[in-house]
Amino acid sequence: MKIAASILAADLTCLGAQIRECQAAGADWIHVDVMDGHFVPNITFGPVVVEAIRRATDLPLDVHLMISEPDRYVADFAQAGADILTVHVETSPHLHRLIQQIKALGKKAGVSLNPATSAACLGEILPEVDLVLVMLVNPGFAGQRMITGVIPKVRQLRRMLDEAQLSAELEVDGGINATTAPLLMAAGAEVFVAAHAIFQTREPIAAAIARLRQSVGALPLPDSAMSRSDLPVSPREC
């Protein structure tokens, strides 16, 4: 299990300190959600913030570009210090060329799918990418409940990667907490993006990260045993 701590839910008044706390607590990556107010209904961070984060940590920076025309900006984020640049298939009509552009910048290349986008559309690009990110919520805001209907897609992508003997990592994002993480681990996810479950609990960041790691040792329920309304979240995750 790799944990990518998403700064979308962090306290931005002390972002550097919170990132360093995540690193000390054993987080594997720092996840940066870049939103443009066009592809998704929110505006968040740009290359200047990524550059500042780079100075605060030596953890890999997992930069998720939820933006239109990502080909115009990947070089800026690469220069700012991103290690992984993930783009959405929905925004990239020339996806193969964009993936090659990211790799030419010396960065790992990822591709992401929104909840309603089929895994089948990645068949031709899977051999070219280092990361596949499955969105478990409609992107734009932290603290949403996981859409449990997306779990079979995680399982499908796990099969696709394994059957083709590909090394791309399978990442999931949206509604990750100690209850949902075991379900996703059982489906084959490897990297877990967590925002509220790390930064918006009533416990220290180290305890929150430890709780996530411990949760994947629990026996998960089958998909049919838990409806969307059954998935518990803390009051701050609503």
Active site amino acids: 33, 173
Cα atoms in the 13 Å half-sphere on the side-chain side of 121: 18
Ordered DSSP codes for 12-26: GGGHHHHHHHHHHTT
Cα–Cα distance for residue pair 118/116, rounded to 1 Å:
6
Ordered DSSP codes for 105-161: TT-EEEEEE-TTS-GGGGTTTGGG-SEEEEESS-TT-SSPPP-GGGHHHHHHHHHHH
Comparing CA positions, the residue from 138, 140, 80, 134 lying closest to residue 111 is: 134
Q: Is 2 helix (H, G, I), strand (E, B) or coil?
A: strand
Beta strands in 43-137 (DSSP E): 61-66, 84-88, 108-113, 131-135
Cα–Cα distance for residue pair 105/117, rounded to 1 Å:
28
Query: 40, 66 in Cβ contact below 8 A?
Result: yes
